[in-house]
Amino acid sequence: MIPPFTDSGYLPPGVHPATLVEIEARFGQSSELRRVQMESIRWMIDLARRAGIQRIVLNGSFVTDIMDPNDVDCVLLVSEDFPLSATDESTLRSLPFLEIALVGQVDFDEFTNVFFASDRFRVPKGLIEVIQWS
């Protein structure tokens, strides 16, 4: 279950696991822009399945209480033994409304534990990890 927002409009600090159904119910329906962004997330997940991505974490204004978020920041953990093809990587990076980082384990940990863990004013915030998608 995705926890309620804090007074700052963020999720509580930490990585909160959620299914695609839970993510759509919570973040992907309240405005037309959110519905379109959710569609891009679905496309990304479909491509991630085929590309051997191990984990997906969502961040940015999409996982806040903002009515019309700018975009969805995503970090995708790439398997060391299953490199992405140039076509898969290019397609993932071209999806609308998504800012995608394709990274190995060290950088994935940096994104989830440091870079995405607070806003530009160092206010701690939470992230969503997509579960049960592969």
CATH, residue 108: 3.30.460
* pLDDT at 132 (0 to 100): 86
For the chain, the domain total comes to 1
Residues of the chain short of pLDDT 50, as ranges, are: none
* pLDDT at 30 (0 to 100): 93
* pLDDT at 134 (0 to 100): 63
95 in a domain, yes or no?
Answer: yes
CB 27 within 8 A of CB 112: no
71 in a domain, yes or no?
Answer: yes
59 in a domain, yes or no?
Answer: yes
Question: Which of these, 59, 71, 6, lies nearest to 33 by C-alpha position?
Answer: 71
Domain of 88, in residue numbers? 14-131
9 in a domain, yes or no?
Answer: no
6 in a domain, yes or no?
Answer: no
Q: Which residues of 90-124 are buried (b: 16+ CB within 10 A; e: fewer)?
A: ebbeebebbebbbeeeeebeebbeeebbeeeeeee
